[in-house]
Chain A
């Protein structure tokens, strides 16, 4: 497996040397791997002692991002890999979900709630809305024909002061 993508600096707001833990999971773009991605990240964040709510937030956000790569990045059963990278620093989870698929022509349009290009597959268009709602920071980079990368950040243990 080529390691070309394993670069902490890929996460554009993480100071690489300061991470307490890091992982990368490279998966085939198959729907079975959606559960695998959720499980891997759930186990990875245990050291942060997440609340049940925080754990569910992370699982949902990761599930949405990985599903998008599988469903939209590699449509009609196209073969390809989905890269899931995660880092922990100061009780904060930084994740990247990347595919080398078709890319998104208009990111701001794609991120609107209820917008979907695959209504025939009963996609609800709520994926990006959930990723935004359940994380503290999210950004999307994409180039048509090259692929898509979604970065998300989740801070643990802030919910008492939050509301």
Chain B
């Protein structure tokens, strides 16, 4: 944590990790700007791993799946990873129904820190 570079309330960089705080409602409207900005951070900071933090997120539809898959497709080309933390049951269900969880690790609350 000490070495973390907090860019703003949404983005923080820890070495080669980018942490992204997801919005309260992750729909097509919010996804559009989020993916553009996330990709900028990935490019500018030589990030390999992106962790999406769903702590504040109460709603997500298939547009959110697109954001996760899109980042996975880009990062996995160079051996990077995408993961999701603080995922509520409803959103986990959406992720599992789409199969995105086979590409994006859902880190469980009680699991690793």
Q: Report whether chain A binds chain B.
A: yes
> Majority SS of interface residues in chain B?
helix
On whether the beta carbons of A67 and B59 are closer than 8 Å, the reply is: no
Which residues of A107-158 have CB atoms within 8 Å of chain B's CB atoms? 121-127, 129-130, 133
On whether the beta carbons of B27 and A124 are closer than 8 Å, the reply is: no
Given contacts A35-B25, A67-B28, 17 further A-B contacts (CB under 8 A): A31-B28, A31-B29, A32-B29, A38-B59, A56-B90, A59-B59, A67-B27, A67-B62, A67-B63, A123-B66, A124-B65, A124-B66, A124-B98, A124-B100, A126-B65, A129-B98, A130-B97
On whether the beta carbons of A122 and B69 are closer than 8 Å, the reply is: yes
Encode A58-94 as 1/0 by CB contact (under 8 A) with B. Answer: 0110011001001100000000000000000000000
On whether the beta carbons of A129 and B97 are closer than 8 Å, the reply is: yes
Q: A32-B29, A34-B27, A35-B29 are in contact. Are A122 and B62 (CB under 8 A)?
A: no
Please report the C-alpha to C-alpha distance between residue A67 and residue B62 in the assembled complex, in whole angstroms.
10
Chain B nearest Cβ from A70, distance in angstroms:
7
Residues of B bordering A, CB below 8 Å: 25, 27-29, 31-32, 35, 59, 61-63, 65-67, 69-70, 90, 94, 97-98, 100
On whether the beta carbons of B59 and A126 are closer than 8 Å, the reply is: no
List, sorted by A's number, 29 A–B pairs whose CB atoms are closer than 8 Å: A31-B27, A32-B29, A34-B28, A34-B29, A35-B29, A38-B59, A56-B59, A56-B90, A59-B59, A63-B27, A63-B61, A64-B61, A67-B28, A70-B28, A71-B28, A121-B66, A122-B67, A122-B70, A123-B66, A124-B63, A124-B65, A126-B62, A126-B65, A127-B62, A129-B98, A130-B61, A130-B62, A130-B94, A130-B97
Q: A53 contacts which chain B residues (CB < 8 A)?
A: 90
Query: CB-nearest residue of chain B relative to A56?
Result: B90
Chain B nearest Cβ from A133, distance in angstroms:
7
Q: A38 contacts which chain B residues (CB < 8 A)?
A: 25, 27, 59
Query: CB-nearest residue of chain B relative to A123?
Result: B66
Residues of A bordering B, CB below 8 Å: 31-32, 34-35, 38, 53, 56, 59-60, 63-64, 67, 70-71, 121-127, 129-130, 133
Please report the C-alpha to C-alpha distance between residue A59 and residue B94 in the assembled complex, in whole angstroms.
13
Chain A nearest Cβ from B106, distance in angstroms:
16
Q: A35-B25, A70-B28, A123-B66 are in contact. Are A60 and B97 (CB under 8 A)?
A: no
